Amino acid sequence: MIRNILLVASIALFGACENSADQGYQISGTVNNASEGQQIIISELNDTNTQAIPVDTAVVKDGKFELDLPEKEKPTISFLNVEGTRGNVLFIADNTPISFEVYPDSLYASKVSGGKDNEVLYSYLSDVRKNNVRMTEARNSMREAYQAQDTSTLKSLENSQKQYFEEDKNSKKELIRNNPGSIVSVMILQDMLNTKAFSSSEMKDLYEQLNPEIKQSPLAQTFKTSLDRMSKTDIGSPAPAFSAPTPEGEELALKDVLGKVTLVDFWAAWCRPCRVENPNIVKVYNEYHDKGFNIIQVSLDRPGQKDKWLKAIEEDNLGQWNHVSNLMFWQDPIAAEYGIRAIPAAFLLDKDGKIVAKDLRGPALGEKVGELLK
């Protein structure tokens, strides 16, 4: 999840301060077990958010460093890296003095203090880590209970997991509502969009609560564009039309394969969860195809790897239905139109091409298809 935060789009645009040429801010800190003279590199995301651009360096002396930096016109997602180490420490540069306690051997444990934005950011990251730990513990305990066939404990753990999930969702919402003027709130919204755990209506409501100047920022505008695209695939909306090459190289359109119920399934040969789900899709197809159930799978396989796509179709016994792929990996235009950020992803359509369900797997898929065909 932290990776998602680091890849978000451009930062909010705030009003410029007067006399910026005469102003600045300072960063300082300690580096655990640092070598004398080791460099501390400060970087910022470029305007297109494609890479971190180094802006200045400091030198460690007696385990400490400090650096004066020019005033920022806007809060900026920045990174601190210790020479010779992998990874970085995330922080928001917002013209306030910032203090670091850096642990090169365990950068995620480093501490950042200074500025409201960093306070919000690290409160959020702390909540994320705590929830990840307890969710992992719950999953491990559920696995043990399942192996022991302890249904009572398993049920209790399932309830606890649902509770943790809801608490995590509520924590994110509360942080955004309490900090409508912070760029971190937009970063959290982008994270929420990436996890697919929130409905578009929930995120729209939170977005509308942001301060006007934040909503005008490039980051918020990028989020809004993605959210609008996601809204196109809300349940009840017409499925976005598309066409793409089949394995034989012919162009096939969604409208040409609609049945009484149609599954649009995004997958790839390299996607292990997709391959695990494929036998279930085969089972549902065999049971309901004669009653009007059709499938079109959209592969997000990589350029130049058509052979792997075709081999996976054969190995998983998927040749009974329609397949298309642009072989463009995550740059696939169909995936972009459907707002796909993770696979497997699936959409059930009715006879008119309207979305009636999303992301159903396992027994839930067969149950819903059977219900729709009655």
Q: Is 241 exposed, middle or buried (0-12, 13-18, 19+ CB in 10 A)?
A: exposed
From CA 169, how far away is CA 192, in angstroms rounded? Answer: 9
According to CATH, what is the number of the domain 23-112? 2.60.40.10
Sign of the Cα torsion 14, 18, 19, 23 reads negative
Q: What's the confidence (pLDDT) of residue 46?
A: 76
**Listed residue (179, 216, 196, 206) closest to 92, CA to CA:** 179
pTM: 0.68
Hey, what are 20's tokens?
Answer: 């910026």
- Using pLDDT thresholds of 50, 70 and 90, give the confidence band for residue 74: confident
Mean pLDDT of 56-66: 95
Percent of the chain with pLDDT over 70: 93
Listed ranges 150-154, 163-167, 271-275; the one with the highest mean pLDDT: 271-275
Those residues with Cβ within 8 angstroms of residue 233's Cβ, 6 or more apart along the chain or in another chain: 239, 240, 338, 339, 347, 355, 358
Those residues with Cβ within 8 angstroms of residue 52's Cβ, 6 or more apart along the chain or in another chain: 43, 44, 45, 46, 79, 88
- Enumerate the domain spans of the chain: 23-112, 118-231, 243-373
Q: Is 243-373 the same fold as 23-112?
A: no
- Among 3.90.850.10, 3.80.10.10, 3.40.30.10, 3.40.640.10, what is the CATH number of 243-373? 3.40.30.10
Summarize pLDDT for 319-349 with one digit per residue, the tens: 999 999 999 999 999 999 998 989 999 999 9
Summarize pLDDT for 168-216 with one digit per residue, the tens: 999 999 999 999 999 899 999 999 988 878 888 899 999 999 999 889 8
Locate the DSSP E strands across the chain.
Answer: 24-31, 39-45, 52-59, 64-70, 76-82, 89-93, 98-102, 111-113, 243-245, 251-253, 261-267, 293-299, 322-325, 345-350, 355-358
Summarize pLDDT for 99-110 with one digit per residue, the tens: 999 999 888 899
